[in-house]
Amino acid sequence: MKKVMKISTVFFLSMFMTIAITASSRLIPIYSVNTDQAKVALTFDVAWGGDDFEQILAILDDNQVKATFFIVGDWIDKYPDKVKLLKDKGHDIANHSNSHPHVTKLSVDEIKEDIQAAHKKVRDLLGIEMDLYRAPYGEYNNDVITAANELGYHTIQWDVDSLDWKDYTKEELVANVLEHSSLQPGSIILFHTGTKYTKDILDETIKGLKNLEYELIPVSELIIRQDYFCDFRGRQYKQEVTTVF
């Protein structure tokens, strides 16, 4: 009997990217997710101050949006009640290291110790096990991703940066998101707490994204958790193989 095998286009693409990545020995985190649904994720790096935190949460509440907060362990020590509030409101709580080091200067074991220290703080405080990690400063190399992978974490970057920590006008900061060349279904958008401007641009930015017909969801609901690969841009694809005999 003659056997006929049909392999999806996605599989060919995945094989090509596997060869390319293997050749360069470069591991890639998740910058965005390939999807035909108009969904994007709002993320906040939480490492500085807490004065604007409740205001940011109130804006998210008013707009009925759930987001992902990547929190540094040192910040958890200072503001445990604010971390509890995140859980109460149903937002993603994710790992942004314990002390915000330059992780590319650390060994795999040192990176793992840092991730685990923050993980333990959240587990002890809230009883949850985090599995989303963003490296401090967005810095990564193979050791960083390997360390995170070995601890069961997905390493998350972003493809749209609000630049909310820079001294731009409100209009410029909103445009940084709404007019960003990379904004598309599956985008992961970066904000920060503890800045001068985030609370002032967040409401208008969210409303603008909704006017563009995007649904705003947390990273935990956006990413593909199994059988996936990331291309050279960090865009995550479902790896599908269909075999017919």
Phi, psi values for residue 57, rounded to 5°: -65, -35
CA distance 92 to 65: 11
Tell me whether residue 45 is one of the annotated catalytic residues: yes
Give ∠ CA 127-67-162 in degrees, rounded to 5.
135
- Among candidate residues 36, 45, 131, 143, the one labeled active-site is 45
Single out the catalytic residue among 96, 119, 154, 192. 192
d(Cα 22, Cα 224) in Å, to the nearest integer?
A: 21
**Closest by CA position to 162, among listed 181, 151, 175:** 175
Residue 191 contacts residue 40 (beta carbons within 8 Å)? no
Read off the tokens for 13.
């693409």
Catalytic residues: 45, 192
